[in-house]
């Protein structure tokens, strides 16, 4: 696998998407506030009270991910600034949001790396890697996933992970691999409902498992749907 090329494309993804904000600095952090403020405010609420107030999308995995990502800031507030984290955020909102936007760019770069590994696993082509990378930037909204605080960045990560596991198992499909893909699909739907298509795609793969009777495939189709639903409920509880 051309790991160096994948790493290069991943790094370029992070740099290209965050560079405009880096050039502006923390003063340009609030170039967009919707839905950035809603999502990150929920991360603050989750850190402080373990509660998520805004549950429209629902975006729970993204909200919890950002609460974990802010651990270095929380440590700094406690040990250096010696102030409660939420109080520190109130006086340093630009820094907190700037930090999470940089995290989003790095997260998008990691996601791109996984996506490209899956693409190479499927076609074994260096040209395919390049085309796949460039094609993502043909989506005009894609570069914003690296600087805005939105669930789509995590959705891309989960879709890339789903595709990577699919690429590893599609030639020798098995029920365990289908259940794993269904769990990833359920988690993706918990992140945003627009990922719902991953659920039927995971279920359909059951019918490509070789040397298994139709009755067993039908039963396992129901089980994959149950896995997706259970994962969704656990991820949004």
| Helix (H) and strand (E) counts in the chain | 11, 0
Using CA atoms, how far apart are residues 151 and 163, in angstroms rounded to an integer?
Answer: 18
What are the backbone angles phi and psi of residue 59, rounded to the nearest 5°? Answer: 70, 15
What letters, b where the CB count within 10 A reaches 16 and e where it falls short, cover 17-50? bbeebeeeebeebeeeeebbebbbbbbbbbbeee
**For residue 54, what pLDDT band results from cuts at 50, 70 and 90?**
low
Sign of the alpha-carbon dihedral angle for 187, 190, 192, 197: positive
Using CA atoms, how far apart are residues 164 and 205, in angstroms rounded to an integer?
Answer: 15
Tokens of 98: 């700037």
Using CA atoms, how far apart are residues 51 and 65, in angstroms rounded to an integer?
Answer: 14
Q: How many residues does the chain have?
A: 237
**For residue 69, what pLDDT band results from cuts at 50, 70 and 90?**
very high
pLDDT(171) > 80:
no
196 membership: H or E segment, kind and range: none
In tens, the pLDDT along 143-157 reads: 899 989 999 999 999
Q: How many CA atoms lie within 13 A of 59 on its CB side?
A: 23
Using CA atoms, how far apart are residues 115 and 122, in angstroms rounded to an integer?
Answer: 11
**For residue 1, what pLDDT band results from cuts at 50, 70 and 90?**
low
pLDDT(44) > 70:
yes
Using CA atoms, how far apart are residues 184 and 38, in angstroms rounded to an integer?
Answer: 25
Using CA atoms, how far apart are residues 157 and 122, in angstroms rounded to an integer?
Answer: 18
Sign of the alpha-carbon dihedral angle for 200, 13, 107, 153: negative
pLDDT value, residue 113: 95
Using CA atoms, how far apart are residues 27 and 219, in angstroms rounded to an integer?
Answer: 56
pLDDT value, residue 27: 78
pLDDT(71) > 70:
yes
pLDDT(172) > 70:
no
Residue 168 burial by Cβ neighbours in a 10 Å radius (0-12, 13-18, 19+)? middle
pLDDT(56) > 70:
no
Average pLDDT, the chain: 90
pLDDT(218) > 90:
no
pLDDT(212) > 80:
no
Collapse the DSSP code of 105 into the 3-class scheme (helix H, G, I; strand E, B; otherwise coil) and give the result.
Answer: helix
pLDDT value, residue 55: 60
**For residue 57, what pLDDT band results from cuts at 50, 70 and 90?**
low
Sign of the alpha-carbon dihedral angle for 61, 65, 68, 73: negative
pTM, full prediction: 0.92
């Amino acid at each position: 696998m051309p790991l160096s090329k994948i790493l290069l494309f991943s790094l370029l993804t992070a740099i290209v998407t965050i560079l405009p904000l880096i050039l502006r600095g923390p003063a340009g952090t609030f170039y967009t506030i919707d839905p950035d403020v809603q999502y990150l405010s929920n991360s603050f609420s989750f850190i402080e009270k373990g509660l998520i107030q805004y549950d429209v999308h629902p975006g729970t995995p993204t909200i919890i991910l950002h609460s974990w990502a802010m651990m270095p800031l929380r440590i700094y507030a406690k040990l250096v600034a010696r102030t409660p984290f939420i109080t520190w955020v109130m006086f340093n909102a630009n820094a907190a949001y700037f930090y999470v936007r940089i995290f989003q760019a790095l997260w998008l770069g990691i996601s791109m790396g996984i996506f490209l590994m899956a693409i190479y696993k499927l076609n074994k082509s260096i040209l395919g890697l390049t085309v796949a990378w460039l094609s993502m930037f043909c989506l005009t909204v894609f570069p914003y996933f690296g600087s805005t605080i939105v669930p789509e960045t995590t959705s891309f990560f989960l879709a890339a992970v789903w595709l990577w596991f699919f690429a590893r198992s599609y030639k020798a499909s098995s029920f365990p691999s289908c259940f794993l893909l269904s769990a990833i699909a359920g988690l993706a739907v918990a992140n945003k409902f627009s990922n719902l298509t991953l659920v039927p795609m995971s279920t359909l793969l059951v019918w490509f498992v070789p040397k298994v009777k139709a009755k067993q495939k039908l039963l396992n189709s129901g089980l994959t749907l149950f896995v997706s639903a259970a994962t969704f409920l656990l991820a949004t509880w």
